[in-house]
Chains A and B, each alone.
Chain A
Amino acid sequence: MVYEFYIFNNVGNCLFYLNLRGTTPEKNPQDKQKLIFGMMHTMKSMCRKFSPQPISVSPFTSYVTDAYKLHILETSSGLNFVMFTHPDMMDQTHSLKWIYSTIYCTFVIRNPFYEPKKPITSVVFKQKLEEYLLTLAR
């Protein structure tokens, strides 16, 4: 069960935010988004330090708490796909890769009206993404 979905670029701007829980929206989502990005950045550099072998791409994939599980996929262009789900959910790297390669590429990159580094406003993208995320079970 997916709770929230974010897309950040490499600088830290939140390009997209989707809340699937139906709870009341927060007063200041930008603060939380900045916190999430800062935390991801720190986590990635910490994981890089701890890897027994030296690697170039960030290996950090997810973390679990009692209340939620956070999955992240970092692409080679610096995009970060962040997903908050139920804590029992299995590793979702494959579904994040699918979202990037199919839904994002088709409805955002190939959209001639999309300006890079600006927030994503495509309604079709939001619809397709929501449809896909609702099908994700355990």
Chain B
Amino acid sequence: MHYNFFIVNKIGLLIYERKFPGCAQLDSSDLIRFGATLSALHLLSAVVTPSGLKKSGLKIISSKFFKLCCFQSPTGVKFCLVSDSNTTDMEKLCKKAYQYYSDYVLKNPFYELDQQIRFEGFDREIEKLFAIKQ
């Protein structure tokens, strides 16, 4: 069961968010704060890597009640999915969302980079993607 889906751009601004039934009650300022916090945590987790290992940012945060998967594209855009603890293959879903992002958002001539995403086509595909897996 999925709770939330977010897209955060490379400077930490939240550019897309989607709530699914059962998610925690969060208002818009919480979500904006979340985007910035996740970017910072992603960077910090690379910095505190034990010495001698290749630095890399965090991928999955596990908790008793939920699992958060964060997939970072090569351009720095982060696709984050919050689901319940039993979900597997969350990274595959995030990668699929990245594919839809490049098809429906980046190829849209009216889209300005790093701005909020407000496209029906993208919403529809995201809805389909996460509804099927539920």
Contact = CB atoms under 8 A, between A and B. Distances in A.
A121 B46 CA distance: 30
B58 A42 contact: no
A120 B33 CA distance: 37
Name the prevailing secondary structure of the A interface residues. Answer: mixed
B54 interface: yes
A118 interface: no
Name the prevailing secondary structure of the B interface residues. Answer: mixed
Interface stretch (B36-44, B97-105, B126-134): B36-44
Interface of B: 3-4, 22-24, 26, 30, 34, 37-38, 40-41, 44-66, 68, 82
Contact of B57 (A3, A51, A65): A65
Nearest to B61: A63
| Residue from the set B57, B58, B68 with the largest chain A CB neighbour count within 10 Å | B58
Interface string A23-36: 11010000010011
